[in-house]
Amino acid sequence: MLVSQILKGKGDLVFTAGPAETVGAVAALLHARRVGAMIVVDGEAVVGIVSERDIVRVVAEGGAAALARPVDSCMTRDVVFASPAETIDSLLSRMTDRRIRHLPVLRDGRLAGIVSIGDLVKYKISEVEAEADGLKAYIAAG
C-alpha cells in the first residue's frame, strides 16, 4: 500500500504552528487536537516539526520558563519527509531507523499530509488480515 492511499483514507489535514508560537501554546494545541506532533511552517515552507517528546525535553531542561520560549527553539529542524508514492514498508523502516513517529508528506514540494507510525501499523495490520482471509478462503475451497 502507498502513502497516497493512506492519505486518501485518513485525509490530508495537517496541524501547523508558526516558529514564533510559544512552546506552551503548541503544547495546548497538541492536547486539544489530540495529536502527537505539529509541523512548523514559515509561510508555506516547512521549517521544522515539534512533537510531544520535544516539549517534554525542553520543559525537563528549562522548567516552566521553557513554556514561554518560541517553538523554534525546541523543534526538530532536520525534517524527514515521505512522498505519496512510497510504500508502508519503506516508511516503517525509515521511522524505526530514525526513531521518529511522524512523517510529513510532500507532493510537488508542498505539504500534502502527515502519517504517523500508528497510521502505518493500522494499514499494515489490515493488509495482513486481508491476506490471511484470502489464504483461509483458498484452503477452504480445496
Range(s) of the domain holding residue 22:
3-141
> What does the alpha-carbon distance between residue 116 and residue 108 come to, in Å, rounded to a whole number?
20
Q: pLDDT at position 141, please?
A: 86
The structural domain count of the chain equals 1
Q: pLDDT at position 133, please?
A: 86
pLDDT digits (tens, 9 = 90+) for 49-82: 999 999 999 999 999 999 999 999 999 999 999 9
Largest Cα separation within the chain, whole Å, is 68
Q: pLDDT at position 48, please?
A: 97
User: Residue 104 CB: number of other CB atoms within 10 A?
Assistant: 20
pLDDT digits (tens, 9 = 90+) for 24-46: 999 999 999 999 999 999 998 99
At 126, the pLDDT band (50, 70, 90 cuts) reads confident
CATH number at residue 126: 3.10.580.10
Residue with the bigger pLDDT between 126 and 75: it is 75
pLDDT digits (tens, 9 = 90+) for 103-121: 999 999 899 999 999 999 9
> What does the alpha-carbon distance between residue 80 and residue 86 come to, in Å, rounded to a whole number?
13
